[in-house]
Structure 1
Amino acid sequence: MPEYKLGLEFAQQLDAKDAIKSYRNQFHIPKDKTGKNFIYMTGNSLGLQPKTTKQYINQELEDWANLGVEGHFEAKNPWLPYHEFLTESMAKVVGAKPLEVIVMNTLTTNLHLMMVSFYKPTKTRYKILIESDAFPSDKYAVESQLRHHGFDDKEGVVLWKPRKGEELLNYDDLEKILETQGDEIALIMLGGINYYTGQFFDLKRIATLGHKFGCNVGFDCAHGAGNVQLNLHDSGADFAVWCTYKYLNAGPGSLGGCFVHERHAHNKELNRFTGWWSHNKKTRFNMRNEFDQLPGAEGWQLSNPPILSMAAIKASLDMFQEVGIENLVKKSKTLTGYFEFLLKQLGEDVIKIITPSHPEERGCQLSIQVKNANKNLHDKLTASGVISDWRSPDVIRCAPVPLYNSYEDIFNLVEKLKAILDE
């Protein structure tokens, strides 16, 4: 990490040395009514649109217009195998083998499909462990799975909680939970990065621990994919799911991604919901064949994919392939470190960063608590030209994304925050 300094000139020097600064110009940055760029800090909620996205989607619209159904075979990017065009680059983003990755459906749908296979409750081992402040949709999903299997949806949830007076989760506490209740827990299902605090969990440590106690282990990596190096294969997790509309910049409500570890790739005995797109590609269109399971993550597909959404994902993934997740993470650590440095100058009696300070334990998001502040502070920050994210009761989430945020963005954001606090 560089030695950070105060002043606009230092921010501009960092921008001048930034090896991937040109990618900022490849995104549409929202502007205010005067035409000035907003300081956009909510890639953790919805990533910005790459300028190439329209071109990628238009290609499919043109092929649909000109070819009709023949586009499945004759389009520039044939629709029939379209999902395969995304597999290798997505696998690199999440640190997996192509066999282990599929782009399909949406996030919570994929989570349910994974729990069909990896939540296998018995009368004595049926509980699901999640973090106490999990993203609401994860909580709702696991509760509904418990109800579906005939269990109490509150008694069946085991919560990994932070210690009193702390925000971050402690691995010793997780181990104690497993030592005392491990034989009752069928599934550990955690966010890879907690949406609220920004804490990046040690996926390998958790998977190893969970498997030691006989639990299946899965992760919701919505806040991790495209943000940190997840190394899903090496983690040993049974499964993971993620969305593509946050750090992967694929557009609102875009398709999700799914990882299934290769040790499950050829296990046809795993319970799962199936559809014709998980059937053997060679005989899929013979229609009257008995079901023949595809190996790997592809074997969890249900339906033919929505091409227009996949085109937007392809536009983004082609950029990720060009830049490399390693280079993004390298800049991210410096960008977020600089942000942390400037925030601390405001005084720790005023500002508290609840996100871990160690760069390996977070992505680019910093969750900021301001003493005695309420949503009024966030509203003023928005009015000043900063698009950030408020989470009750008292946290502003800011995510400087290395693809399109600059060091000067960070400098200007903190200057605006300082001016508001000085009012």
Structure 2
Amino acid sequence: MKTTIYLHVCLSKKLLIIYTSGLTQTEIDGHLKKGTFVETPAIQACIKLLETNSLLILTGAAGTGKSRNSLEILHQFRIKHPEYKSVKLTDLHDFTNLVPNEEKLVVLFEDIFGRTNTKFSENTDVQIIDRLHACTIKGNIKVILTVRNTIRMSCEWILNSHTIFHGKCEVDLSSERFKMTKTEKESLLLKYFVANNFRLLDFNDPENYNEETVLDPQITVTVNRVTLHNIVESEPLLGFPEACSLFTGNRKLTRLGLSFFKHPLKYLYEEIEKLRKNGKDSQQDRMSYVTLIYILLNEDVLDPDDIRLKICFEILKSCYGISNKELPPCHIIDAANEMIGRYLIFHSDDGTYHLQHQIIFESILISYSRIDLGLILIKF
């Protein structure tokens, strides 16, 4: 009887690996299809570390490309070592449910210690870390952890107290060694130009990026080489890769030109605040703002099959004084769909919506803290 149960559990885990690996490959394929990635020396350094150490910690400031780089590492590592399957997880506990003893896997844990604060429990997670360590020693499991620099500093005690984290296994995308060169930055920005209907003009040619007409996505945005050079020379606090993505993907931010790269958080916050204020008269903007706040308060997820309308009602009451007890969930979903690529991303594997980046999270957090600071302090 025990043997039968053991075999059933092993089979279930193998099927789960096949399924999860398939979802991960779909995400990798999406990354490759975008055509907006520039390889830097960090990629080969990471692959070499994985081959020799079985553990890689990929760190960097917000917006430096940890997610895209980690997918590229998975892609290239599997080309060199096709015997490994690739699996991306976002929770330590998923590892317990997933990994059988003999499977060869490269496991990517994205933001394992949290996006805004450290989400690690010494009491419950230490056993999983120990098992992870045992798997890496055995040699059949390779592990990639992505951690924001600020979170990495706050969880230093974890890295110091567990043997798995000892040794030189870290690559910092913000470091002098691995930060993007000006040539790489220009190449990246030009790739985003191609992907988002931008055209590069010659030096001092008249450009239209700051004109209201470019709010129409069908209009080609033009940027001359002087502006391109100034952008490449900038060092945005956000991180150049994410700044490029937001600048070319959100035409309202496009119109700001170089100013956006110098002060991204300021302008994103102003956009969110404008959405809130317009929501007093515009139902569309009101639903957009409510949806963003809902995702903020709901641990950065909107599941269309599990919308907690009570939270939406509370947001409507606190922001607009509307005591509405009837709100079709489709209004929230419609608003979310309108904001894909601008503020949100859609995960096709599980059909959920998430905030596109940490800086958007922070802009929404600052905006709503002016409405209900007490709730923000409780939540975060």
Pick the structure with more helix per residue: 2
Normalising by structure 2, report the TM-score.
0.34
Compare relative contact order (CA 8 Å, sep 6+) and give the higher one, 1 or 2.
1
Normalising by structure 1, report the TM-score.
0.32
